[in-house]
Chain A
Amino acid sequence: MSTALRDILRNPTVAELELVARYAGLKVDARRERLFEAFALTGLPGRRDENWRWSDFKSAVTALDAPKTPPAHDPLARGGVATLRFSPSGFAAPSALPAGVRLVTREDVQAMGGAEDVPLGALAAALSGTVQVEVSAEAPVHLHMVFQGPGAIHAARIAFLLRPGTELHVSESHLGGAAFSAALIEFTLQAGARLNRTIYQRGGAGEVQAITALIEQDAGAESVQTVLAFGAKVSRIETRLVHRETGSKATLNAAYLAGKGFHADITTHVRHGAPACTTRQQTKGAVLDGGRGVFRGKFLVPRTSGQQTDASMQHNALLLEEGAEVFAKPELEILADDVQCAHGNTSGALDGTQLFYLRQRGIPLVQARAMLTEAHIAQALEGAGEHEDALRTEASRWLAP
């Protein structure tokens, strides 16, 4: 047994023991071992880990019993779009996929770079096989993914390769069902490829979810990501993006709505590893009494490779009631000198003057609050294109049930 594994076993939580048992039951594989060790270096991350101090998975993942949450409905589902289904009992894909899409399911474990940075991504990879999807179509490709189903642990991994000049629109619904779910989703965008990714996350109040994405972009590649997160007992949607060639562009938008007993964490890390790349990031949140929102964003702009970076980061949170909690850490690490980087971070209550204006016109307080909150998050959902209306509908239902 490795040192890391022995360390984690020195003082393990019940859940960690179960994860080790799950790992030990899988086929021996050198890459699996490396990935599980990358996880074991941290174990389930928690308060003591700087990157996880506000999202304590260690205490949140308790006994891994299957929760009895009724399945959430999927607002992003639409007819005619090939749907990939991930559940604790396995993976299913339609036999007919769009032209120019090749899908391979592999039992063995694929290597993963930077596994130590994303312990729960490494865990997902160590406990699952890999679905690989190669997109080489001339026309834009539309795919939908659903992560849902009852079980104790749900680990899933899928890797997309977008060949030069291709375009993929992928929607993801993370609907919970398992006590603990960890998904790892990888995207490699070759030169000029375009990705539009929309994520809808809604876990149960007793569930813990970690959704980790690794995105790498070559020259002139462009990605637009839009998240609507309702949280779970604890949830984290983490995106690590690398601009690795010139002229790559990324938009990372997210909205989170956390009600009583729900915790929604939006974490991003963007490395400007090549000159003249652009990142636009906008995160909007609204939290009720007993809810918790977390935003962590980091731009890393190295001294030589990061010249002519154009990047901006905004996080604006609304504390809708007394007792709402928001934790935010926007971070810009800029070592290059010829860059444009901006960031803004605010949190506060709704504007009393605006509320009064709406109420004076006859709009009841609850509805006025909902209207203003929906307007607050609306901008962050604009990039979702064909899914924007569905996301807005879910948001407004939550705001004014």
Chain B
Amino acid sequence: MLKIENLSATVGEGEGVKTILHGLTLSVPTGEVHAIMGPNGAGKSTLSYVLTGREGYTVTGGTATLNGLDLLSLDPEARAAKGIFLSFQYPVEIPGVPVMTFVRTAMNAQRKARGEAEISAPDFIRKSREIAKVLSLDPEMLKRPVNVGFSGGEKKRLEIYQMMMLEPRFMVLDETDSGLDIDALRTVAEGVNALRAPDRGMLVITHYQRLLDYIKPDKVHVLAKGRIIKTGGPELAHRLEAEGYDGVLAEAV
């Protein structure tokens, strides 16, 4: 279970410091998929970065735990080894590092941190081939540098590829639908759905309801001004789509 309680966080330094999260509380039980929706600037991406430990964000109050383990005191790599995975809204280009090298290094680093044996090269390649097939990824692409020269859709599919390879305990998907056409969206959603499991949780951050037609959430939360202002079932996403954020926000205040 991912448990966030009364979490507050700021970004920036000195005069430019800005509070983005204002006492956010949220729980995602293991095995469930929750969606977070909200207008621009609500703090959606900040939440994903604070959970994964990106520099530049300061937690000023509250807690975040994954299966009882305090996430906020750990380095980003330690959080990853404990099973938290962020699918980036804007996947990062890493010139000079081939995808396969990158993912294998990451996988073995996580295994080492958990005290597990490294994956053998043949096992890794077999697994990579299977997953690439599911995601309709060209195997040649996996020999190229990470995200360099990839289209928006390819980058998002590569995020899902990494997720399926690394098999995290908890996934945060930050606007995975942005920049995807309908076919790519379907492929990506299939990959994500394949990872739904009783021992795995998921937080899907999105702007639009569309993605939730493909990845059906157990619960939908509305994030505005740095806190969860409303929680409901999948029907809440449809209401937001029909009425816009203004209606729901007005009601909540």
Contact = CB atoms under 8 A, between A and B. Distances in A.
Contacts of A353: 92
Interface stretch (B58-66, B74-82, B195-203): B74-82
B94 A359 contact: no
Contacts of B79: 360
Interface stretch (B106-114, B127-135, B177-185, B213-221): B106-114
A372 B92 CA distance: 12
B96 A363 contact: no
A374 B92 contact: no
A112 to B, nearest CB: 40
* Band of interface residues on B: 20 to 34
B176 interface: no
A360 B109 contact: no
Interface string B129-150: 0000000000000000100000
Given A357-B94, A371-B105, A376-B96, A363 B77 contact: yes
A362 B77 contact: yes
Contacts of A352: 55-56
A378 B95 CA distance: 10
A356 B75 CA distance: 10
A364 to B, nearest CB: 5
A379 interface: yes
A20 interface: no
Interface string B87-110: 010011111110000110111011
A364 B76 CA distance: 8
B162 interface: yes
Contact of A364 (B52, B77, B88): B77
A348 to B, nearest CB: 15
Nearest to A359: B76
Contacts of A372: 94, 97
Most chain A beta-carbon neighbours within 10 Å: one of B54, B79, B107: B54
B228 interface: no
A361 B106 CA distance: 6
A358 B96 contact: no
Nearest to B113: A362
A356 B54 contact: yes
Interface in A343-384: 352-354, 356-365, 367-368, 371-372, 374-376, 378-379
A378 B77 contact: no
Interface residue range, chain A: 20 to 34
Contact of A375 (B85, B95, B110): B95
Contact of B162 (A361, A367, A368): A361
A151 to B, nearest CB: 40
Given A356-B76, A372-B94, A375-B96, A363 B105 contact: yes
B1 interface: no
A358 B75 contact: no
Contacts of B75: 359, 364-365
Contact of A356 (B55, B81, B107): B55
B125 to A, nearest CB: 18
B78 to A, nearest CB: 9
Taking each of A353, A359, A367, which has the highest tally of chain B beta carbons within 10 Å of its own beta carbon? A359
A357 B55 contact: no
A362 B81 contact: yes
B117 to A, nearest CB: 15
B77 A359 contact: yes
Given A352-B55, A356-B55, A356-B76, A362 B96 contact: no
A376 B96 CA distance: 7
B237 interface: no
Contacts of A357: 88, 91-92, 94
Contacts of A363: 77, 105-106, 109
Given A374-B96, A379-B96, A360 B52 contact: yes
B86 interface: yes
Contacts of B94: 354, 357-358, 371-372, 375
B106 A362 contact: yes
B96 A378 contact: yes
B80 A362 contact: yes
B166 A361 contact: yes
A360 B86 contact: yes
B97 A371 contact: yes
A260 B242 CA distance: 62
A346 to B, nearest CB: 14
A175 to B, nearest CB: 28
A63 B233 CA distance: 81
7 contacts: A356-B54, A359-B53, A361-B80, A362-B106, A363-B77, A371-B97, A375-B94
Given A359-B75, A360-B52, A364-B77, 17 more contacts: A356-B92, A357-B91, A359-B80, A360-B54, A360-B79, A360-B80, A360-B85, A360-B88, A361-B80, A361-B102, A361-B103, A362-B81, A364-B109, A367-B105, A368-B77, A371-B105, A372-B94
Which 10 interchain pairs have the tightest Cβ spacing? Answer: A375-B96, A362-B80, A361-B106, A362-B110, A359-B76, A357-B92, A359-B77, A362-B109, A362-B106, A378-B96
